[in-house]
Amino acid sequence: MPRFAPALVVLALAGPASAQPTGAINPQVVTARVEDGSLVWTTTQLLPVAKQVVVTVVVGGRPVTETRNVTELTRVTSERSEAVKNVKATDGAGKAVTPDRLAERLREDAVVVLHVGRLPDGFRRAFRDDTILIELPGPTAPPRQ
């Protein structure tokens, strides 16, 4: 079998590239609240962390202690925020949610769906009509030189 055949199989299983709009980021379900005019949410990520470990190996029939550098994934939780005026909120039915209504609904922690870019219809249909969908501003492009 040629070396490129596994890559073709992966591409065939991945499906058409048009299923996800360019620049869109998959939605993330989080717990959020509005505090002092800002949307505040907690996110947890797995991040690589380098650390040293001591191991015992057998060299020439004798146990030897060595220090090795390893990278492991560590769960890191952080709180993020964005000004309410910078986000666009809608409900699951696609109706706009005003900043005042958003602040009212998120006085206390509530489950919301965050996304960047246009949320594909397939994702939108997966949520109930009263679900709050929040579009965050995307990263700005660097200036052209």
Residue 16 has a pLDDT of: 45
- Using CA atoms, how far apart are residues 108 and 104, in angstroms rounded to an integer? 9
Mean pLDDT of 57-71: 94
pLDDT band at residue 14 using 50, 70 and 90 as cut-offs: very low
Enumerate residues 6+ apart whose C-beta is below 8 A from 20.
26, 120
pLDDT single digits (tens) 83-142: 999 999 998 888 999 999 999 999 999 999 999 988 888 888 888 988 999 999 877 656
The answer to whether the beta carbons of residues 34 and 108 sit under 8 Å apart is no
Total-model pTM: 0.66
- Indicate the average pLDDT of the chain: 82
Residues 6+ apart with CB under 8 A from 79: 40, 41, 42, 43
Of 93, 132, 94, the closest CA to residue 111 belongs to: 132
User: Does position 19 have pLDDT exceeding 90, yes or no?
Assistant: no
Task: Check residue 54 and give its pLDDT.
Answer: 96
Distance, in Å, from the CA atom of 16 to the CA atom of 77, rounded to the nearest integer, reads: 34
